[in-house]
Amino acid sequence: MEVATPVVSTSGGSVFRQDSCEVTISCATEGAAIYYTDDGSTPKRNDDYLYTGPITIADTTTFKAIAVYGSLRSDYVTATITKQGLTIEEALDAGEGVVFATGAAIPWKPFLDSTAKVGDVTVRSGAIGDRANTWLSATVEGAGTMSFWCKTSCEHDEDNMFTWDRLMIYTNDVEIAEWRMDGETDWTERALSFDGGTNTVKWVYYKDRTGADGEDCAWVDAVTWTPSEAADPIPAVAVDADAATVNAAVDGAGFVDAAVKVTIGGSAAEYNKFKTWAAGVKGATGDALAGEAAVVANAHAAAAYLLGAERLFENEPTVEIGELAIVDGESAGTTAMTVAVTVKDGESAVAVSAAKVAAMFEATGDLGDWSGTAKLTPTVTVSGTDSNGKMTFNILPGVGLGTRAFLRIKR
């Protein structure tokens, strides 16, 4: 009679990726006793080495076993069950384009979680002590949107001072204060958009000087990076292109703004100025680079270009003039006026080129003669721009005036 060689097995084969794994050792010879070790050494045939049921392991383990039936014995078997832990990238289901890092004394790690937003694994903050922190970061390149889910189980600061145990989120080392989390919170989705360049999102779990509650940690899951679609460029033209070529390029781009063709006026030089401006102007919300495709699709591209606006307009822009004041009305020829000018997109003020705004004004010393010899070109300098985008100009109507001067927006 031969005794069958034992078989070492798990439900997932010879590799496991969870926190622990259950191992069984069996023998096809009914009634045979199995002796084993879990360090690869040769087992002895006594009760200290007798297999009595499944064994739970938490790391890579090498088993060596033999089956004995009476005076007969099997061959030895050696089997290694390997723990192959998930990477943070795999646990967060991030796909390409995201580079992760984790730090502090105890880093974040993949964690089996039945509540995970994708799959059954999340990444959990390290088990730190008081007055410590542990962080996880994700870095991306270019324009696009990063979305993610996070939750906490820790102390809750009822006074909302957020100085207790808490999760804090940063973009490029600047905290997003309104996103702080503490206490028992469920999964919450967040999203961040970037214009371009290198950007890093960082999740930091902090512990205060004493105490703990809940599971004393934070989780992050399902980090998704969606790059912005590449913009279709406005067709290029040669610097010496004729008007027909320029106009054909404008027509071919399919501008929504019918005034663009008139604005460019068939001039290759003006067209290329417009193309340069279009490549760098921001979107209508001001929080992302528009790109040339967005300029083509904008109904007010010509107005934004003519005003030298830093962003596109969602609405037809309006210009508000107010707070006109005489600074010095005594010295002939040096009369100075201060005018507040606000360019608006709906209710929102938009910063525009001071030179473009200055060109809208004209001055005269004779109210009845805006086209004759009394018409002067004002000298305009910007004296300030407030937080609402209202631009204030110092305007010197011109020399050769009497004790009075008149200023108006050109027709």
- Do 7-83 and 88-227 show the same overall fold? no
The per-residue pLDDT for range 271-308, each reduced to its tens digit, is: 999 999 888 888 877 666 667 878 888 899 999 999 98
The per-residue pLDDT for range 66-104, each reduced to its tens digit, is: 999 999 999 999 999 998 778 899 889 887 889 999 988
The pTM (predicted TM-score) of the whole model is 0.49
Q: For the residues 314-325, what does the mean pLDDT come to?
A: 82
388, pLDDT greater than 90: no
Phi, psi of 103 (to 5 degrees): -155, -160
Return the percentage of the chain with pLDDT > 70, whole number: 85
Residue range 7-83 in CATH 2.40.50: no
| Cβ atoms < 10 Å from Cβ of 150 | 24
Return the pLDDT at 331: 47
CATH placement of domain 88-227? 2.60.120.200
For residues 191 and 407, the model is more confident at: 191
Alpha carbon 123 to its chain's center = 19
Instruction: Show me where the domains of the chain are located.
Output: 7-83, 88-227, 243-306, 318-409
Per-residue HEC secondary structure of 268-335 comes to HHHHHHHHHHHHHCECCCCCCECHHHHHHHCCCHHHHHHCCCCECCCCCCEEEEEEEEEEECCCCCCC
